[in-house]
Amino acid sequence: MNSSSAQRLARVLITTVSVAYSLIGLIYFTSGPFNGLVASVAVIGLVVTHYLNMRAGLRGERPPLFPLTVVLQALATYVPEYLLPYGWSVLSAPMLAGTLLVFLPLRWSGPLVGVMTLWDGGSIFAWSTNPVLALFYGLSVSTTGAMIYAMVRFVRVTVDLSHARAELAEAAVLKERLRISRDLHDGLGRSLTAIALKGDLAARLMDRDPTAARGEVDELVQVAREAAQDVRRVARGYRELSLVSEVDRAVALLESSGVGCQVHLVDAALPEPSEAALAWGVREAVTNVLRHSRATTCTISTSLTEDRLRLEVVNDGADHDGHESGGGLTGLAERAAQAGGTAGAVATGTGGFRLTMEVPA
């Protein structure tokens, strides 16, 4: 049930109860002109104040003149008791009980409603000497008040749940946007960098070595196709990567760009989240080497310690553009955390740069 339906249901039930008690009061206490006038004024005061209180309660607010409206409803509930034949408060007290439970803390409203229940039940018993009748009317005060309170709380909880669902939906959309942004950065960054490098190399080789230039163009086309596949994976949410295949692509790209590469990988079966995180780590590291450093050598290695696998990508050209804390490494740290690991990047003492990741093995 949505919040609008819950509010309509609560309004119908509370209004039905209020109208029923008010009509009974008018019918019962209009035996003469004076009683009819007093009962009519009392019903108007009772209905108006109860309406204002419940309208605000269903919205999760207090009435504009609070606590005056509660005081006026209490006066409309008990003052006519002394002007009309006995029994007015038995019909008006249940509505007041609901108002007290809605707007006052339960540590105060609970005892007050209990006193009202005993008061009306005891008065009915003193008037009629019928314990069953006294019990019925006495309990009607607390049960009707509890029903009104439950309906108001039901509406408020429904509204809160609707707001929570909306916030969760917005958070899910934001999370998906962040995922797409991160995946596009991590996935396309390497490919676009490779396309630019190979395009420049092909342009330089075009005149003096057309055969080599054609080879670079062929590789450029292959990288562009891989980039298109990356875009499709991002759009579909597929991010399954292989560490070995990503390292192979990284070696080929680095060497074609004039960066010597050494690889030392341990043979270890990894959980899928760890495998994907390390593959993204290699991709981000190679992208940074090509974009932001003047490296001539790069080493990619993994080591296994107990239940953790550590990845290190070290190059001899420090990040001279200051990108070590950029969005790519931030996204990489998020990926590592999702896999239960950590990631970091620091400059080495020899003028190089080291990216590390540790994930569960």
User: Over the stretch 129-186, which tens digit does the pLDDT of each residue have?
Assistant: 667 666 767 777 888 888 888 888 888 888 787 777 667 656 755 665 676 677 777 6
Task: Residue 145: name the closest of 11, 9, 18 by CA.
Answer: 18
pLDDT tens readout for residues 192-202? 777 888 788 88
Dist CA 115 CA 205 (whole Å) = 97
pLDDT of residue 311: 92
| CA–CA distance, 332 with 344 (Å, rounded to integer) | 9
Answer yes or no: are the C-beta atoms of 32 and 83 closer than 8 Å. no
Give the pair of three-digit tokens for residue 88.
């007015």
* Residue pair 301/264 in contact by the 8 Å Cβ criterion: yes
Average pLDDT rounded to a whole number, residues 17-28: 71
Q: What angle do CA 334, 270, 288 make, to 5 degrees?
A: 45
Mean pLDDT calculated for residue range 56-76: 84
What is the predicted pLDDT for the residue at 26?
Answer: 65
Helices (H) and strands (E) in the chain, counts: 10, 5
Q: Are 261 and 255 in contact (CB under 8 A)?
A: yes
More confident residue, 86 or 341: 341
Predicted local distance difference test score (pLDDT) of residue 42 = 78
Asked if 353 and 314 touch (Cβ cutoff 8 Å), the reply is: yes
pTM listed for this prediction: 0.48
Domain range 241-361, CATH class: alpha beta
Mean pLDDT value of segment 6-11: 73
Query: In this model, does residue 344 exceed pLDDT 60?
Result: yes
Can you state the angle between helices 88-103 and 3-28, rounded to 10 degrees?
Answer: 160
Distance, CA of 3 to CA of 1 (rounded, Å)? 7
Structure tokens at 270: 């990894």
**Does residue 6 have a pLDDT over 80?**
no
Res. 205: pLDDT tops 60:
yes
Pairing of the two strands 353-360 and 308-315 = antiparallel
In this predicted model, what pLDDT tens digit does every residue of 232-253 receive, in sequence order? 766 665 556 688 888 888 888 7
Residue 96 pLDDT > 80: yes
- pLDDT category, 347, cuts 50, 70, 90? confident
Cα(77)–Cα(90) distance, integer angstroms? 9
pLDDT tops 80 at residue 284: yes
What is the C-alpha separation between 112 and 106, in angstroms, rounded?
Answer: 9
pLDDT of residue 61: 82
Does pLDDT of 312 surpass 50?
yes
pLDDT at 80 over 60: yes
Spell out the domain ranges in the chain.
Answer: 3-167, 241-361
Mean pLDDT on 95-116: 84
Amino acid at 157: V
Higher-confidence residue: 298 or 2? 298
Q: Is residue 300 scored above 90 in pLDDT?
A: yes
What's the Rg (C-alpha) of the chain? 38
Confidence of residue 319 (pLDDT cuts 50, 70, 90): low
Which candidate, 79, 135, 142, places its Cα nearest to that of 116?
142
